[in-house]
Structure 1
Amino acid sequence: MTRERGGFTPISQVEMAAPEWLRRISWPSVLIAVFGLLPVLGTVLEIAGAPRLHFLDYWHLLARITNDDGTLIPRAIVQYHNEHPMFVPALLFWLDAKFLGGSNHALGALTAVFAAGIVLVLNLMLPRSLDVVKRTALTAAFAFLVFSTNATEMFGQGMSGISWMPQFFFAVLALLLAQRGRPVWSMAAALAACVSHGTAFAVFPALALVFFLRGDRARRVLWPLVIGLVVVVGWLLTVNQAPKTGGDLRADDYLAMTAGTIGQLWSAKAPDIAVVLGGLTAAGLVAAVVLLLRKRIGGGIDAPLAGWAGMGLYILAAAAMIGLSRAALGIGVSLAGRYAEIAALAAAALLALAVLWFPSVSVARVTAVVLAVAAVGYVAGNGQAGIQRQIYQEQAITAVAMRVGAPAEMSRLRAPKEVLPAAKALGVYPFSADFTLGCGKPGLELGDQVDPKQVQELAAPEPGLPNVGNVDSGPVRGDAPIVGWALVNQRAVDCVLVLDSANRIVGGGGAGVRRADIGLALHVDEQNSGFTAVAAPGATSPRIVVGARGSLFHVGAVTAKG
């Protein structure tokens, strides 16, 4: 009841006065949906805070698919990369270079769009008859899993996300279309997944399972198997290098690598935990598929269950492919962030199958369990996120190495020098107008000359001094790693420059590198006093200068006494 002048009005009258659309809103679902947006927001912030410069494979692929003048080599798009048909990612890489200036942020954002598409498809795979709160809770869980911190590599390194996420999107789209009885469109989506990455070959037996569980005609069941076989045979006939064998590895090695891939969502750094939890997840998916097969033989099952069973088989097969490939290379259980979506989709399939299998479980219990599992998986990936963010620090020095043409440093940082002509022709970052050494003021970029009178000297390291620093890597020389640290007023510096004998800026790098050892040794709170830099090859008498709050300081190397 509600209070009025002189009395109370029954609640039923208030409800009747409210608009119909407002009365139909499920407010618990709204709150759960808002909760499900949190990992998406976290991903947006991660992409915004990631480096501008691209990573690793982007440069190798760009070098292969472009001429020195930056024009596309069409036939190179359809060549394999590391034995995978990454035709869609290669094209997206070139489009990014041609029209977006080679932006890691742009590819990270596109990865997030594909991820959001996956969450939407997973939502559409749930039956509309499912209670709205349960459906919203599962969708929020899907968002936490797909946008997990374990997948930070996918979003922070756009090239990694675009190399992997499109195949997952097209594969789950194929499963949705098969679930809804659209065989032609499901085959088209499956083929789109296959030209995005080789792991998508695993989707064809999954599609056959979906059509079988739906009770479709035999030809619908056989066609995915036939098309999948043609795709695999075609790949085997055209791949440059035949798949390797695992040598002396035994069956338990392969199973451990497969289970570790499925279970890495729950363990950022401990392979044993990933193997155990991945094994349990895989066992749950296998049990669900077997039980559904028995039920199908006994009479038939609902289409939604068929689709999620197909999802389970697809993930099991994809994880097995990854396990076999790693075993062939002699590599152990992997917790690499690029495999995070395998683990995410495995957990999503198991959650959906459990909820659909036991419809009588209360809404409150389903919501609590589903959201708790998703949140734990999100938090558990923090360690993997930290590993990826440490890699970000190398990008500043990689950008400078490319700008000054330092081949040894580019090789160490795995950026091929062969890409430089095309990158310059396309104006790809760091060859774009927005490249900067990060000092925040004009006249402190590559090629500028610095007035030596503006440069102060930093003291040698000693506790209690406000302005100190050191070059730890020894004598400063061109085309070689330069590592050191500096504190100005006991705070980290803003930028690092390399000056030659004529006081011209011939190099730079990145500041703000974590150096907890310096804070401990000098009894200061600052933990990010480190810097890394590189100078142009052949730079004469190069020396390090750091910028802090508008002032410049020369950093020398401490020499041994006596």
Structure 2
Amino acid sequence: MTQTSTITLDADVPVGPEPPSRPWFGVAALWLFAAVPGGLALLSAVRAPRMHVLPDYWHVLEKVTDDGGHLLLGQVFTNHLDQPFVIPSVLFWVDAAWFGGDNRVLTVVTVLLVVGIVLALRSMLPFSPVTKAALTAGASWVLLSSHAAELWLQGTNGMSWVPAVFFSTVAIASAHRGRRWIAYTAALLGCLSFGAALPVWFVLGLVAWLRGDGRTRVVVPLAIGVVVVSAWWVTKPAGPQSLATSAFDPDGRLSVVGAAVGGLWSADNPTIAVIAGAVTLALLALLFGRTKARAGWVGLAGYSVALAVMLALGRTTSLVPGGNVGLVSRYVLVSALATVALLALAALNRPQWPHRYVVTSVAAVALATHAIGGVKADNVRRSYVPLNLAAVAFRVDAPKTLDALRIQRRAAPAAQALHAYPFSDSFTLGCHGPELGDHVDLAAAQPLPTTATGPTHGEIDTSTVTGDVIITGSAVIDGTPPDCVLVVDATKTVTGAGITSLPRTADQPPTTPDGVTWQAVASPNTTGATVLAVKNGTLYRLSQ
């Protein structure tokens, strides 16, 4: 008679039938499941705007580049936001010099680095093929979550944060496998990327101690960590950075820690995030264990907590969406790392769990957190769209508008020398016809009705239409937004333009539908301005 083989953990405690040794179908299905969030993130990265719209990019580019477009190596090693920024600074210059200042290059690199984080974490998994594939899928879904949309919407966010986390994760994974020199190299590269890597040296010492390594392997990274942090502290500029506060505020800082660790479980409600963070921290504490198998995962949990504490010490302002810095889109990586560590430690703590339990639990966490993040992703997209007006403002040299958008105008000469967008030949107003400097026939422009009825109407909401101010209005033609908006001066020359299909602004009437708003800017010397909407080559004159 055939007997069913069983797995036994303790002396006489049968757990269940032994799983098939090569469950290829299930593993393949889990790998396909793991690829989905990466594909979605990559699609978002490729479809992101070409224009760099965040001030950090232009500030760094202006700092590390002379007006001729040459890299100033000495400036590369200066701090940005009070922290080392060597590798991102070089990447910003490379993007401008080699790839025409294309934001999408950096967004794609960001996605690839996050995929690298997932693969580094996978290398620490000791499980059967099914469990390993399930936990890899879980890591992929939470790290490439919809919560993190701003990382692949603007490459500046990704390059400012992800390289340091990537190198730190590689360092932890290498230390987990006893490869200390690779771990030290990765940690050093992380520290050259951003301050988010500063705690990793102490994590490496923790991992070595948990593995039972010799005293030297424990003490060396701890000593390096003290030296690195001390060097950073004595060389950083005095004064608070953006969003920083010197207030005591223990309650506010604690709430940031909780929200950062539990950020995957809330889009904009800090209370839910704090509760989720507290539960996550409690479970991680319960699963702590000094074994080789758990060393890297405990280290990863410690690293995520260190990031949350650093975030709370440096940034506690409530002037962000959700009122808690821990809920900012790019910081969801803190919660993602903590969650991956929790899933792995739970699987290590209960190796007897049937595969269906592990797969179901991972899928539930993955899909639930991704669905919750949809609201945050939509809010991020809506908030960034109006900033694309910076491309036109650069081209028409509108300093007041660039200041309003917080863009470093002094980076313009370097960008022009490098032919970086929007100073490249690929720049266009999107009208499929008129461009800056062209003349248009105003007599051919049809007046657009101002009453918000019917499929065709529009108006100018800004009281004064002149050069170097952000002109706002709405327009819809045959039920759809116009292709573009032009600003024409008294000589019928195109001296400005704008962007369309924007969300309604706070200054517009509540009756204005979403998606029909436009904004435009013209050169400072524009007089007798006329605003035109263009649809399929037809001109429509807008009025106030």
TM-score greater than 0.5 by the shorter chain: yes
Find 2:334's aligned residue among 329, 342, 348.
342
Distance in 1, Cα, partners of 2:102 & 2:247: 43
Query: Do the aligned partners of 2:318 and 2:324 also contact (CA within 8 Å) in 1?
Result: no
Using the TM superposition, name which of 100-109 and 43-52 deviates more: 43-52
Would you say 1:551 and 2:541 are equivalent positions?
A: no
Distance in 1, Cα, partners of 2:499 & 2:493: 18
Find 1:351's aligned residue among 316, 330, 343.
343
Distance in 2, Cα, partners of 1:248 & 1:490: 52
Q: Which amino acid aligns with 2:439?
A: Q
1:249-276 Cα distance to aligned partner (Å, 9 max, x none): 3433322211111111111111111111
Aligned to 2:447: 457
Would you say 1:117 and 2:116 are equivalent positions?
A: yes
Distance in 1, Cα, partners of 2:67 & 2:154: 25
Find 1:43's aligned residue among 41, 45, 55.
41
Q: Which amino acid aligns with 1:428?
A: A
Distance in 2, Cα, partners of 1:166 & 1:246: 26
Would you say 1:275 and 2:279 are equivalent positions?
A: no
Using the TM superposition, name which of 106-115 and 262-271 deviates more: 262-271
1:455-482 Cα distance to aligned partner (Å, 9 max, x none): 1111221423x42110011221110011
Using the TM superposition, name which of 138-147 and 253-262 deviates more: 253-262
Aligned to 2:391: 399
Aligned to 1:499: 488
Q: CA deviation at 1:243?
A: 6.8
Query: Do the aligned partners of 1:105 and 1:158 also contact (CA within 8 Å) in 2?
Result: yes
> Of the two, which has the highest radius of gyration?
1
Would you say 1:333 and 2:332 are equivalent positions?
A: no
Q: CA deviation at 1:237?
A: 1.5
Q: CA deviation at 1:285?
A: 2.1
1:139-187 Cα distance to aligned partner (Å, 9 max, x none): 1111111111111011111011011111111101001111111122211
Would you say 1:171 and 2:168 are equivalent positions?
A: yes
Matches within 5 A, 1:299-314: 301=291, 303-314=292-303
Q: CA deviation at 1:315?
A: 0.9
Distance in 2, Cα, partners of 1:146 & 1:546: 42
Aligned to 2:208: 211
Taking structure 1 as reference, are residues 520 and 163 closer, same or farther at Cα in structure 2, changes over 3 Å only?
closer
Q: Which amino acid aligns with 2:498?
A: G
Aligned to 2:7: none
Would you say 1:238 and 2:228 are equivalent positions?
A: no
Distance in 2, Cα, partners of 1:215 & 1:122: 21
Q: CA deviation at 1:515?
A: 4.0
Q: Secondary structure at the residue paired with 2:528? A: coil
Taking structure 1 as reference, are residues 542 and 246 closer, same or farther at Cα in structure 2, changes over 3 Å only?
closer
Distance in 1, Cα, partners of 2:380 & 2:37: 17
Query: Do the aligned partners of 1:397 and 1:509 also contact (CA within 8 Å) in 2?
Result: yes
Matches within 5 A, 1:409-558: 409-439=401-431, 441-442=432-433, 444-464=434-454, 466-515=455-504, 521=511, 527-557=514-544
Distance in 1, Cα, partners of 2:28 & 2:317: 48
1:40-88 Cα distance to aligned partner (Å, 9 max, x none): 1211221122211012210010011010111111000000001010111
Aligned to 1:382: 374
Q: Structure 1, unaligned stretches of length 5 or more?
A: 1-22, 558-562
Q: TM-score, normalised to structure 1's length?
A: 0.88
Distance in 1, Cα, partners of 2:33 & 2:87: 33
Aligned to 1:369: 361
Distance in 2, Cα, partners of 1:376 & 1:328: 28
Distance in 2, Cα, partners of 1:450 & 1:310: 64
Q: CA deviation at 1:236?
A: 1.2
Query: Do the aligned partners of 2:118 and 2:140 also contact (CA within 8 Å) in 1?
Result: yes
Q: CA deviation at 1:521?
A: 4.8
Q: CA deviation at 1:384?
A: 1.4
Q: Secondary structure at the residue paired with 1:492? A: coil
Q: Which amino acid aligns with 1:32?
A: L
Q: CA deviation at 1:278?
A: 1.1
Distance in 2, Cα, partners of 1:426 & 1:121: 36
Aligned to 1:6: none
1:94-129 Cα distance to aligned partner (Å, 9 max, x none): 0111100001000000001101101111111101xx
Q: Which amino acid aligns with 2:182?
A: W
Query: Do the aligned partners of 1:85 and 1:195 also contact (CA within 8 Å) in 2?
Result: yes
Q: Secondary structure at the residue paired with 1:438? A: coil
* RMSD between aligned residues: 2.1
Q: Structure 2, unaligned stretches of length 5 or more?
A: 1-20
Q: Secondary structure at the residue paired with 2:287? A: helix
Q: TM-score, normalised to structure 2's length?
A: 0.91
Taking structure 1 as reference, are residues 165 and 551 closer, same or farther at Cα in structure 2, changes over 3 Å only?
same
Q: Which amino acid aligns with 2:58?
A: W
Aligned residue pair count: 517
1:322-375 Cα distance to aligned partner (Å, 9 max, x none): 111114999963111121111111111111110111100110011000111011
Find 1:190's aligned residue among 163, 182, 187.
187
Q: Which amino acid aligns with 2:303?
A: Y
Distance in 1, Cα, partners of 2:281 & 2:94: 38
